Amino acid sequence: MATPEHPSPEFGRRVRQLFLGFVLVLLLALVLFWRIDNPRAEQLRLRVVDLVVPQMERLLTPVGRLSHIVEDFQSYAQLYEQNRELRRELQQMKAWRETAIQLDQENARLQHLNNVRLGPNLSYVTSEVLVDSGGPFQQSVLINIGSDDNVRDGWAAMDGLGLVGRVSGVGRKTARVILLTDRNSWIPVKVQPSNSRVMMAGDNSGLPQLRFLQNAADVEPGDRVITSGDGNVFPAELLVGRVVIDSTGQFRVRPSADFRNLDFLRLVQAFPSPPIPNQGDLVAKAIDPPDPAIPADPATSADSTPSDASGGSE
């Protein structure tokens, strides 16, 4: 056949086929690795994204702005109408703002009177959305803060108003937020005013479904949907959206968050209170020491109160 000194086309083709087969086997191995050790593979992916995306930010910003300009241009046509509407809305909002301030003051006063302590374990970090890596498979966005800013997996992400999704995958300077609408997103929610507890499952359409509803009569279109805090996934009482019915009669949620303009996300830091493993434990601990040391009792109950209070305010 071919000697190394005079490689014939035939020889080159053989080498190429061998190389191709080798690469295909490697790819197959990569797929299997991704499937078998998914967390590690995703971590690897995030590390790559973490390296590249912050560098891309400079490039992304002007292009993103350009696309905004195009969008804005479409609305110039209705500028006058929009302006009038905004003014009207602004008037209403001013009234609301006044009301809100008054209520806030009143609330603070009443809380002070009642000596209420709010759960200290809820606070916010705000982040900027870098890129939207959604597709037919995943509806997710990348944000510009990560483990350097103490972001952890599982935190809730909101825009100004409603829930947007959940942090899933944290790199050093970036983190990935899976949107509510993603197929892998299952969130325990509560429908008000009936307080029925339901699961909200994304299906890659804009309106996530309500699943496992016990009594359909309890829910009506227009009802408010908030997170229930069940299963310690999320803090409770975050606004999600409103109930709608689709053409097949399936209950769905129209998210309050504006998914068209996800520019900034507010991550709700949640440090879940340590679970109480067994129902009797709190009491049992107090009883366990058999000596008649009664003063020990208030101490233990005082210890447990803060976690109780935070559990309630989650």
Partner 1 sequence: MIAAYGTSGGGIWTGRAVFVVVTAVLILLYLFSFGTPGRQPPLPDLLYCSIICVVVRRPGAAPFWLVVPVLLVADIFHMRPLGLWTLIIVGISEIARYNRAVFLNQVFVVEWLAAMAGFLLALGVQQIAMILLLVNTPPFETVFWTMITTALAYPLVVALWSGVLGFRKPHPAEVDFARDDG
CB of 143 to partner 1, least distance (A): 13
Q: Is residue 65 close enough to count as binding partner 1 by CB under 8 A? A: no
Beta bridge partners of 184: none
Residue with tokens 């009443």: 110
Q: Is residue 41 close enough to count as binding partner 1 by CB under 8 A? A: yes
Q: Is residue 64 close enough to count as binding partner 1 by CB under 8 A? A: yes
Q: Total binding residues for partner 1 by CB under 8 A?
A: 52
Q: C-alpha distances in angstroms, 140 versus 35, 85, 111, 148, 181? A: 19, 33, 39, 20, 9
Q: Is residue 54 close enough to count as binding partner 1 by CB under 8 A? A: no
| Structure tokens, 263 | 């520019």
CA dist 260 and 282 (Å) reads 48
CA dist 279 and 190 (Å) reads 24
Q: Is residue 259 close enough to count as binding partner 1 by CB under 8 A? A: yes
Pairing of strands 122-132, 140-143: antiparallel
Q: Is residue 43 close enough to count as binding partner 1 by CB under 8 A? A: no
Q: Which of 2, 7, 33, 81 binds partner 1 (CB under 8 A)?
A: 33
Binding segment (CB under 8 A) for partner 1, from list 75-83, 205-213, 215-223, 303-311: 205-213
- What is the per-residue DSSP string for 63-106? HHHHHHHHHHHHHHTTHHHHHHHHHHHHHHHHHHHHHHHHHHHH
CB of 131 to partner 1, least distance (A): 4
Q: Is residue 173 close enough to count as binding partner 1 by CB under 8 A? A: no
CA-wise closest residue to 310 among 150, 166, 124, 119: 119
Q: Is residue 203 close enough to count as binding partner 1 by CB under 8 A? A: yes
Q: Exposure string (b/e) for 78-103, b if CB count within 10 Å is 16 or more?
A: eeeeeeeeeeeeeeeeeeeeeeeeee
Q: Which of 177, 187, 226, 262 binds partner 1 (CB under 8 A)?
A: 262
Q: Is residue 39 close enough to count as binding partner 1 by CB under 8 A? A: no
CB of 69 to partner 1, least distance (A): 13
Closer residue to partner 1 (CB): 209 or 232: 209
Which of positions 208-237 make contact with partner 1 (CB under 8 A)? none
Q: Is residue 204 close enough to count as binding partner 1 by CB under 8 A? A: yes
Q: C-alpha distances in angstroms, 158 versus 146, 163, 266? A: 16, 4, 5
Q: Is residue 189 close enough to count as binding partner 1 by CB under 8 A? A: no
Binding segment (CB under 8 A) for partner 1, from list 25-33, 192-200, 227-235, 287-295: 25-33
Q: C-alpha distances in angstroms, 123 versus 157, 275, 294? A: 12, 20, 38
Which of positions 128-167 make contact with partner 1 (CB under 8 A)? 129, 131-141
CA-wise closest residue to 173 among 199, 202, 149: 149
Binding segment (CB under 8 A) for partner 1, from list 105-113, 214-222, 257-265, 267-275: 257-265
Q: Cβ neighbours of residue 229 under 8 Å, at least 6 residues apart?
A: 188, 235, 236, 237, 314
Enumerate binding residues for partner 1 (CB under 8 A).
9, 12-13, 16, 19-20, 23-24, 27-28, 30-31, 33-35, 41, 45, 48-49, 52, 56, 59-60, 63-64, 67, 129, 131-141, 176, 179, 181-184, 203-207, 259-260, 262
